[in-house]
Amino acid sequence: MDGHSLAYRAFFALPAENFTTSGGQTTNAVYGFASMLANTLRDEAPTHFAVAFDVSRKTWRTQDFPEYKANRSSTPDEFKGQVQLIGELLDTMNAVRFAVEGFEADDIIATLATQAEAAGYEVLIVTGDRDSFQLVTDHVTVLYPTKGVSELTRFTPEKVQEKYGLSPSQYPDFAALRGDPSDNLPGIPGVGEKTATKWITQFGSFAELVERADEVKGKVGQALRDHLEAVKLNRHLTELVRDVELPKQVAELERAPYDRTALKGFLEVLEIRNPSLRDRLLAVDPGAEEEAAPAPAAGVELDGAVLGSGELAPWLERHGAGPLGMATVDSWALGVGSVSEVALATADGAAAWFDPSQLDEGDERAFAAWVADPARPKVLHNAKAAMRVFPEHGWNVAGVTMDTALAAYLVKPGRRSFALDALAVEYLGRELAPPSADGQLAFGADETAEADALMTQARAVLDLGEAFTARLEEVGATRLLHEVELPTSELLARMERYGIAADRPHLEAMEQQFAGAVQQAVKEAHASVGHEFNLGSPKQLQEVLFGELNLPKTKKTKTGYTTDADALAWLAAQTEHELPVLMLRHREQAKLRVTVEGLIKTVAGDGRIHTTFNQTVAATGRLSSTDPNLQNIPVRTDEGRAIRRGFVVGEGFDALMTADYSQIELRVMAHLSEDAGLIEAFTSGEDLHTTVASQVFGVDKSAVDAEMRRKIKAMSYGLAYGLSAFGLSQQLNIEAAEARALMDTYFERFGGVRDYLRRVVDEARATGYTETMLGRRRYLPDLNSDNRQRREMAERMALNAPIQGTAADIVKVAMLNVDRALTEARLDSRMLLQVHDEIVLELAPGERERVEEIVRREMASAVELRAPLDVSVGVGRDWESAAH
């Protein structure tokens, strides 16, 4: 196989934006190459196999002709590094790969093919380079990609003859005459493929044509004679070298069994989780038959028992004192859930499975007591799910000493998936039963096999817990897990069970309002251009905007000129035509309608919305939510405020209370930078942005106008989010030079901020990570990347992560402290939501003043900052009226 040729084809066949890891590594070439490799090995079943790569563009050909391939554009940044990764993939498959200084992959392939044919092998060459057609014989076939990376055409002598009217040995003669623009080999003016074929057929060979060039009549004959030296050089360069000195002979290329653990780990690290690709690669492992029934790894043999009625209590009596791994099959939807299976496993090999519906009274009491006992250590994966659903059976979960999902998140927060099966492969080298479409284990009807699989999962959770205990110590995150993340899980589980009451009629009326606004925008858009078109079709919109209306062109993409929100806003500012404005309104109203529709669908039977909070999605440590995503609701628009009125106080409670921090990111930035001027701006008691603007622009505070304040506000928050001068210019709609000047002036006044931002990137580049005040790390290996885009992205993350991560940690600590204080005060008021930096509570009758005092005290004292935390509190019958 021609590694570079196929990797490049794969790169352009698959969209890079669809194949990127959470750390920014593009993987489309790796994925496409792996897919072609798996299919080819499956279809051709070779006994011997090797991959050839180019070393660089400097070869014997560039020595003989410096302009060789000189016309090729520089390698795309997204492609760089992927060839190395393909090499690592091949290493996990124990495949031989060649790369020889001074030669191209074609020359290596030509050498191997020549040697192999002489030794009696049937040879297949997989390449996208047509020069390889000269190697085709009765025993050498070229498999040439003709459709992306999915279809290969077999070039035999007959196929070459059919395609070009020539024999394979005549192909380099033909190529020399035709020239090759991709290699910067000049052709003969006026001579195309038909003429080249005619000449080779007529004279028999290139050498004979050169010898008898005077016999070629007309203008083309003269052109041939005028360019004879150039085509002679072409012929010299096109001929493949068949005697490159290689470190291995053909007989040494026999396929060997994979390092399956390394292969699975490689795919996991690159976040390539398509089960079809993985299965196809593993299916063609020469050692697959040997591993079809692997012996259990040392220390993981299970003495499993399927427990019937009356058997769980004595099992727990024997094994319940030590740490147990626990795995469950459960369901949760619209505030209602149940557990259908539970498996437990010990470190000494004992394991048990039971169906909760089959427990007798003694089992029920024993399990309820064990699961609620904080002195009985338990290890779970995504413990919050169990904490949320177990109370449906009357069980409360305590004593969780390890959550392997949270631990994996703290060890490597940037990874895309924290699925148990992926972690087991990466950290234990152990495969588990694959998850099914609904996220549960894919079991058959055989109850024993089902039980065995879940017990194996429970044991993997236990072993992962031990592995992560050491890893957490290494990254300094042990306290963060036990004092912040695990307690937060327990609190979030209760919040998800509580839910928040919804005013369904209000939300339904909002949905109708937005639906009407969408239809009105459609009518007005059609009227503005004089005919109907599909507003949801980018192609039709492009035709209308840039074809019919001839509006200024936006950024060019693969599918035409972009019509995203930024482009439409730019068009609205550049032209007086109303269509861009109408399109923006249509999209905004359609998005709001979808948001409200989603809220209505999630109103449960108890009249409340039970969102699911996620602790492992945002690498900075912030919480997010799904089903519904409450962060999708706009905060500062009239429509967003109207939607929030649909979240109301529930029956038996008096009001909702909201509490959040004022300018928490900027206070954290002031604390971390220790900038005296910024700290003074916070402690002066005056408006922060006005105070800072007066210093930056050198005017009295009374002279600071709204535009000055707006620029400084964007500047300050932009720095906390790692915003560049270019990003600031885009946000403020000013020239990049003006944005840079504004940033420079800001840094002149607040040198501590400038020094801190420089220092945090330098330290992260040296250590490989950033860290929050509470020790939450964000690993950024791309800070030293050769790829400028990836390096700059990592630098922005390095600026952003300590500030955003510290703010996220503070909010979690505040939530825990408020919840603890409410419990200690024996109050019935409870926390319901956490969205952005805001906490929403439901107030029990008569408790407002005591709760407000607790909220203000505990949130303000969550951590001690040089720029003290400031808390705003509001109360009302709905979320919006409780705003402050």
Whose CA is closest to 344, among 321, 359, 325?
325
Angle at 110 between CA 105 and CA 113, to 5 degrees: 120
- Asked whether residue 325 falls in the same domain as residue 457, the answer is yes
Q: Are residues 471 and 528 in the same domain?
A: no
* One domain, residues 550 and 594: yes
What are the backbone dihedrals phi and psi of residue 333, each rounded to the nearest 5 degrees, phi first?
A: -155, 135
Instruction: Tell me, yes or no, whether 456 and 536 share the same domain.
Output: no
Judged by DSSP in three states, 424 sits in helix
Beta-bridge mates of residue 843: 655
Q: Which two tokens stand for residue 87?
A: 């090499």
Confidence of residue 297 (pLDDT cuts 50, 70, 90): very low
* 541 and 481, same domain (yes or no): no
Pick from 805, 821, 853: which residue ends a domain? 805
Closest-CA residue to 628 (of 493, 502, 798, 811): 502
Of the candidates 458, 423, 208, which has an alpha carbon nearest to the alpha carbon of residue 327? 458
Identify the burial level of 576 via C-beta atoms within 10 angstroms of its C-beta, where 0-12 means exposed, 13-18 middle and 19 or more buried: exposed
| 477 and 523 together in one domain | no
Bridge partners (DSSP) listed for residue 369: none
Exposure of 37 by Cβ count < 10 A (0-12 exposed, 13-18 middle, 19+ buried)? buried
Q: What is the CATH number of the domain that holds 736?
A: 1.10.150.20
Give the residue among 470, 492, 481 at the shortest CA–CA distance from 809: 481
Q: Which helix (H) or strand (E) holds 506?
A: helix 504-529
Q: 770-807: per-residue pLDDT in tens?
A: 999 999 998 887 787 666 777 888 888 888 889 999 99
Q: Looking at the domain assignment, is residue 196 inside a domain?
A: no
Name the most confidently modeled range: 133-137, 289-293, 299-303, 682-686: 133-137
Residues 711 and 604 in one domain: no
Which tens digits make up the pLDDT trace of 513-532? 999 999 999 999 999 999 99
The residue type found at 853 is E
The last residue of a domain, from among 777, 805, 833: 805
How many domains does the chain fold into? 4
Distance CA 555, CA 563 (A): 9
- Report the C-alpha gap between 179 and 188 in whole angstroms: 7
- Give the helix/strand (H/E) hosting 803: helix 788-824
Under 8 Å CB-to-CB from 119, ≥6 apart: which residues? 250, 251
State the DSSP H helix or E strand holding residue 869, giving kind and residue range, or none if neither. none
Give the pLDDT confidence score for residue 73 in this predicted structure. 58
In a domain, 52, yes or no: yes
How do 777-779 and 769-771 pair as beta strands?
antiparallel
Q: Which of 576, 608, 640 is the last residue of a domain?
A: 608
Contacts of residue 174, defined as CB under 8 A and 6 or more positions apart, other chains included, come to: 164, 166, 193, 196, 197, 200
pLDDT, tens digit, for every residue of 527-576?
A: 999 999 999 888 899 999 998 888 888 887 767 888 888 889 888 888 88
Judge if 531 and 486 occupy the same domain: no
Question: For the ranges 333-337, 417-421, 479-483, which has the lowest average pLDDT?
Answer: 417-421
Distant-in-sequence, close-in-space partners of 560: CB < 8 Å, separation ≥ 6 = 538, 539, 542, 546
Tell me, yes or no, whether 879 lies in a domain.
no
| pTM (2 d.p.) | 0.69
Q: Is residue 249 part of a domain?
A: yes
The residue-averaged pLDDT of 386-401 equals 95
Query: Around 213, how many Cα atoms within 13 Å sit in the side-chain half-sphere?
Result: 18
Residue 478 domain-assigned (yes or no): yes
Distance of CA 117 to the CA centre of its chain: 45
Model confidence pLDDT, tens digit, residues 347-358: 989 999 999 999
Report the alpha-carbon distance of residue 78 to residue 25 in Å, rounded. Answer: 8
Q: What value does the CA radius of gyration of the chain take, rounded to a whole number of Å?
A: 34
pLDDT for res 537: 87
Query: Is 874 among the domain residues?
Result: no
CB atoms within 10 A of CB 339: 20
pLDDT of 787:
66
Q: Is the model's pLDDT at 121 over the cut of 90?
A: yes
User: How high is the pLDDT of residue 70?
Assistant: 58
* Pair (335, 447) in one structural domain: yes
Residue 432 lies in a domain: yes
Q: Give the strand pairing for 378-380 and 556-557.
A: unpaired
| CATH at 328 | 3.30.420.10
Domain at 576, CATH number: 1.20.1060.10
Q: Is the peptide bond before 286 cis (omega within 30 degrees of 0)?
A: no
CATH code: domain of residue 87: 3.40.50.1010
Alpha-carbon 37 to chain mean position: 24
Is 129 in the same domain as 246? yes
Q: Are residues 549 and 484 in the same domain?
A: no
Q: Counting beta carbons within 10 angstroms of the beta carbon of residue 600, is it exposed (0 to 12), middle (13 to 18) or buried (19 or more)?
A: middle
Q: Is residue 459 domain-shared with residue 573, that is, in the same domain?
A: no
Q: What is the domain range of residue 457?
A: 303-492
Assigned domain for 645 exists: no
- Stated as kind and residue range, the H or E segment containing 632 is none
